Structure 1
Amino acid sequence: MTRPTSEASLTGVVPPVCTPLTPEHEVDVGSLVRLVDHLAGAGVDGLFVLGSSSEAAYLPDRHRRTVVETVVAHVAGQLPVLAGAIDMATPRVRDHVDAVTAAGADAVVVTAPFYTRTHPAEIVTHFRTLAAASPVPVFAYDLPVSVHTKLPADLLLGLAAEGALAGVKDSSGDEGAFRELLLAARARTDITGFRVLTGAELTVDAALAMGADGVVPGLGNVDPEGYVRLYTACRAGDWDRARAEQERLCALFRMTGVGAPSRMGGSSSALGAFKAALHLRGVIACPATAVPQVQLSPEEVGEVGKYLAAAGLL
């Protein structure tokens, strides 16, 4: 049965899909399709392409277009597809919104502007402008580690009340602010259907207990079944089972540090580990990450394999 793709359906487990590459650093379409099947077969509730775990910052526009077109065509409406439209400022982001919605994305995910030092009034104008131009719902992406701006609850909820934002993916790591956002959203009578999704893989049980609507876990590429079990246990109120699943996933997440900080940055290590794990599990053909990221060594890939085996995934 085809699932609805309105903003009201964007809850649950929505993995940020990795972008498989060939050794020549082109998009590996066959591996991308297998990855989508791997995620859909696990029972996820949606897919988020062209986010951080997709290496969107490294992909030229033609690769971004290939990713969105491939995923949208392959899921054929069976799952909602959110697409990142991430760039430095409003005119460039609007071009990305046009491109991903023309390709069939069901919603777009947008950060605050970056590179320039931006005032909150300019951030509000940014989101209002994009919402007015977008034919699909707009989700804010709260990612201060990358854009150097934390999106405050009053800004997000003011835009939600106007109808400019359908929700937020919170990757801020600020659990206190996350809770304040949930409490403030609950208290507003002028907002309905505003979705709050956590991007924190390690505290999903806590986020759902606070009232979050779902999770966007990078590690969900590797173990989507684990996050579906975790979400299901939380929604059933089985907190003992949820805690056990969360702790298993926390142990698996340690794979993301196999190369950092001695040889590479944390992002290179984490994305390299996700891709190495997908390669070891037979999902993608090549574990290459985009230039200029440092590639994992054979020894580091072996360490990733040990984490997979300990988690029961090999």
Structure 2
Amino acid sequence: MSRPATPTGPLRGVIPPLCTPLSPSGDVDTRSLRALVERQIEAGVSALFVLGSSGEAAYLDDDRRRTVVATAVEAAAGRLPVLAGVIDMTTARVLAHARTAAALGADALVATAPFYTRTHPAEIADHYRRVRTGVDLPLYAYDIPLAVHTKLPADTVLALAADGTLAGLKDSSGNDGELRRLLVRLRASDRGGQFSVLTGSELAVDGALLAGAHGVVPGLGNVDPHGYVRLYEHARAGRWAEAAAEQDRLAALYAITDAADPAAMGRSSASLGAFKAALHLLGVIDCPATAAPQTPLDGAAVKAVRHLLEEGGLL
């Protein structure tokens, strides 16, 4: 199997965080995952990210995680880089996932700061350096304080960029002001031309790209990868009015995540359930099941998702 060429600059473009299709019994549906990979590649995305939040990594045991990485790498077949999430509570556990992902052929790794226990910025930096030293693959930091209860300090990110520990950052902090300030500081640094900043704020992609972000990691990209590729290409060409119009359309489509009754399930269950319901309605995956104990969407919510897909021109 051929491998993607090593990037000569920062990773750019649309890097969807793939959902993990599951069977009704909770096993990884490898046929559906391959179909999802093919749809993303056909849409023109730049890379694939498995085992992130949209991939339900927190709900999957180690065997299922291995199956996801192996299936995605096999399906991509060297056409695109595969970034593997190695998210876990402590350095030792992250290193174990990282070694497994590397052995299965992943092209890069994505890790959060340690969580459950409270960590100091010096400990966070040591965590990333140990992971990068332990596995010789590009390492991307995943800043998602809502999940890990730690906001990656800008000084820590800049230091890890400067010494080559980190190849980039996926910013899902929701703090667009701090992201803008980080981009300004990166441009003034020696590593600014090599370090990739990817926004996870899928409803403000045009603004992030205008500010200098290199790409986007959109959960909604599972449902409409073509739309995000169009948005990115418009921005890259300086067609900002067209980029804004595409972003507005995607923002309307994002209402699928509001389809579920908030009194019946958590926000994460509603969002992941909506993505999977949409993929099922589009004929991409065989089953819309989410991992236990997440509550599945009911019939009324699925009907609302269908209506929004029709309004968005996808059905």
Give the TM-score normalised by the residue count of structure 2: 0.98
SS class of match (1:201): coil
Show the 5 A alignment for 1:24-103. 24-103=25-104
Structure 1 equivalent of residue 280 of structure 2: 279
- Paired residues of 1:5 and 1:79 also in contact (CA < 8 A): no
CA pair 115-78 structure 1, distance change in 2 beyond 3 A? same
Measured in 2, the distance between the counterparts of 1:287 and 1:148 equals 29
Shift of 1:73: 1.0
- Paired residues of 1:153 and 1:184 also in contact (CA < 8 A): no
1:246 is matched by which residue type in structure 2? Q
Which structure 1 segments of 5+ residues have no match?
none
Structure 2 equivalent of residue 226 of structure 1: 227
- Paired residues of 2:10 and 2:196 also in contact (CA < 8 A): no
CA pair 2-101 structure 1, distance change in 2 beyond 3 A? closer
Shift of 1:10: 2.1
Structure 1 equivalent of residue 268 of structure 2: 267
Shift of 1:6: 3.4
Paired residues, what number? 314
Shift of 1:299: 1.0
- Residue 239 of structure 1 pairs with residue 253 of structure 2: no
Measured in 2, the distance between the counterparts of 1:148 and 1:134 equals 26
Give the TM-score normalised by the residue count of structure 1: 0.98
Which structure 2 segments of 5+ residues have no match?
none
- Residue 197 of structure 1 pairs with residue 190 of structure 2: no
Shift of 1:260: 4.4
- Paired residues of 1:208 and 1:234 also in contact (CA < 8 A): yes
- Paired residues of 1:21 and 1:287 also in contact (CA < 8 A): yes
2:228 is matched by which residue type in structure 1? Y
Measured in 1, the distance between the counterparts of 2:197 and 2:153 equals 13
Show the 5 A alignment for 1:104-253. 104-253=105-254
Shift of 1:125: 0.6
Shift of 1:44: 0.5
SS class of match (2:84): strand
Structure 2 equivalent of residue 255 of structure 1: 256
CA pair 161-260 structure 1, distance change in 2 beyond 3 A? farther
1:135 is matched by which residue type in structure 2? D
2:309 is matched by which residue type in structure 1? L
Measured in 2, the distance between the counterparts of 1:230 and 1:238 equals 9
SS class of match (1:21): coil
Measured in 2, the distance between the counterparts of 1:4 and 1:246 equals 31
Measured in 2, the distance between the counterparts of 1:171 and 1:82 equals 16
Structure 2 equivalent of residue 289 of structure 1: 290
Percentage of matched positions with identical amino acids:
58
SS class of match (1:229): helix
Q: Deviations over 1:151-181 (max 9, x none)?
A: 1211101011111000000000000110011
SS class of match (1:303): helix
SS class of match (1:65): helix
1:76 is matched by which residue type in structure 2? A
SS class of match (2:93): helix
SS class of match (1:197): strand
Q: CA RMSD in A?
A: 1.2
Shift of 1:3: 4.4
